[in-house]
Amino acid sequence: MDDIAMLKRLLMELGVFIPEDGAEVECQTVELEDEEEEGDYRSENGVEIYLPATKGRFDFKEFLQEPDKELSETMVQYEKYTGIDLTKVDWIESLPFYRDYLAHFDTDDLQIKGPGFFEYEFDYDLLFRLIAGSFSSGWNFEYHDGSLPRLAIRVSANNKEVNKYLDDLWGFQIARMYEIYIKEQLNLEVVMYENVRERDIVVDQRRRVLEMYDERMAKYRRKKLMSILQEGGRNETRSHRS
């Protein structure tokens, strides 16, 4: 099974995705049986997530403490081709795939709806960058009741599309997403070192993904500005009436 197929299989376990061409389409929510883990409590109304400032910072060292077989193999290959011993890396931001790619996703002033966890504080800035930068899945903003957009994540495999919203996920599912997406970036970096032609393909795809991201963020900021202006107009009307 190749890396992309493996990543899609793992994403299907969580129930997430967006079309591969990045087109914005209507969501069809697929009901999945999500088992709540003990101690995994959240508010049904969700919470506002402000990026890039988030309460938690991803602990890369802890993430690597008990790697599964796939991650262990990836770590060996990564060190072989890059010369970087991942066990000695303190923060993920120091790795090439973050510096050269994920760091270029502008998250300034981004507000999205997230799960209302009482006990978990995730690094949502990193998670959003990983989702936005993924080749194996995609994302979209969706606006329902209220001004905050919901982050829809969709994956397509075996002629089936499955959709989930970030604010619907449980803590153990979000933790699993970090694993899936970090594996993807590590594997892609190995591919870039293995083959010059494939390196060019990855670099080109990264450029396309960043361009699409900038277009979506420009649309998001226009919509956010319009919402602020409309709210200001409503407040002014109420002030005159009073």
pTM: 0.77
Alpha carbon 218 to chain centroid distance?
Answer: 18
3-state secondary structure of 35: coil
Which residue range is the domain that position 57 belongs to? 3-22+44-235
**Residue 129: inside a domain:** yes
**Residue 240: inside a domain:** no
| Overall number of domains in the chain | 1
Distance (Å, whole) CA 146 – CA 113: 10
**Residue 135: inside a domain:** yes
For residue 165, CA distances in Å to 78, 148, 235 come to: 32, 13, 31
Q: What is the pLDDT of residue 61?
A: 93
Low-confidence ranges of the chain (pLDDT < 50): 1, 10, 13-43
Contact predicate 28/20, CB 8 Å: no
**Residue 34: inside a domain:** no
Task: Bin 229: left if φ > 0, else alpha if -120 < ψ < 50, else beta.
Answer: alpha
Q: What is the pLDDT of residue 55?
A: 58
**Residue 242: inside a domain:** no
Q: What is the pLDDT of residue 230?
A: 78
**Residue 166: inside a domain:** yes
Q: What is the pLDDT of residue 227?
A: 80
Distance (Å, whole) CA 37 – CA 184: 26
**Residue 96: inside a domain:** yes
Contact predicate 89/95, CB 8 Å: yes
**Residue 193: inside a domain:** yes
